[in-house]
Structure 1
Amino acid sequence: MTAQSAVFQCKLCPNNGTDRHFRGVGARMAAYRVCYSCDFWLMCLGYAMLGDQDPDGRRALRIDGVHYLSWTEEQGFPPEIGYVGDEESRYVLLDDPAGTVHVTRRLWLMGTIPDALRDRMPDNAIFAPPS
């Protein structure tokens, strides 16, 4: 017998959410009463709240209202969906007074930040011109 999934109104947007196991987040969506999209953006907001960098070296970048995540060589490639490619991406963090140019070859495009979250997820970097 298959259990029926619960469907509920997302408390952050007009979409519906479900407790159905979907890419590992069904229980979390149900607990927070949010849809898949809002759950994803709350995760991205978490990066901003935790300093925009994982202990393993990944860095959350927000450039022109678009969210990216860099990956290190040791981590391998980001997920196939959203992977920008193997070309060099150069960026400068806005809060770096030295203007250090960082380089990554593994960048994951996560999407355009929803208007409702833009004030809580402001840009933190700019792309640097090629050297």
Structure 2
Amino acid sequence: MPAQSTAFQCKLCPTKGTDQEIRGVGTRMAAYRVCSSCDFWLTCLGYAMLGDQDPDGRRALRIDGVHYLSWTEEQGFPPEIGYVGNTEHRYILLTDPAGTVHVTHRLWLMGTIPEKLRTRMPDNAVFAPPA
């Protein structure tokens, strides 16, 4: 018999949260008292706080208030949901004075950043025009 889940009020939004395992993070959601949506966006905020790049080469991109995550060829394809496709995506980091154009063929659309997090997760890139 599966364990009964416990519901609680998310401390960041009006949504209810639960300790039910959703993609392996139920325990963390219960510990922080946040719903799955707020847990997801806190993870994205973590990317911003840690420099927008994983040691494995993935880069967090925030363009026009939308959050993306690039993937390297070695990592394979991002999750099916939100995968933008195997086309060329060109971008320029706003902190790069040289304006270097970076290219990725694997981009994951994570979603529109909630208004309440926009000041903590400002845009860090722009899409570059096609070559």
- In the superposition, the TM-score normalised over structure 1's length comes to 0.99
Displacement, 1:115?
Answer: 0.2
Q: Which residue of 2 aligns with 1:103?
A: 103
Does the residue aligned with 1:68 lie in a helix, a strand or coil?
A: strand
Displacement, 1:3?
Answer: 2.0
Q: Which residue of 1 aligns with 2:120?
A: 120
Deviations 1:44-83 (A, max 9, x none): 0000000000000000000000000000000000000000
Displacement, 1:2?
Answer: 3.0
Does the residue aligned with 2:39 lie in a helix, a strand or coil?
A: helix
Residue identity opposite 1:46 in structure 2? G
Cα separation, 2, equivalents of 1:22 and 1:99: 40
Residue identity opposite 2:62 in structure 1? R
Displacement, 1:18?
Answer: 0.3
Residue identity opposite 1:108 in structure 2? W
Runs (4+) of structure 1 moved beyond 3 Å? none
The count of corresponding residues between Structure 1 and Structure 2 is: 131
Unaligned 5+ runs, structure 1:
none
Displacement, 1:4?
Answer: 1.2
Percent identical residues: 83
Does the residue aligned with 2:62 lie in a helix, a strand or coil?
A: strand
Residue identity opposite 1:120 in structure 2? R
Cα separation, 1, equivalents of 2:44 and 2:118: 11
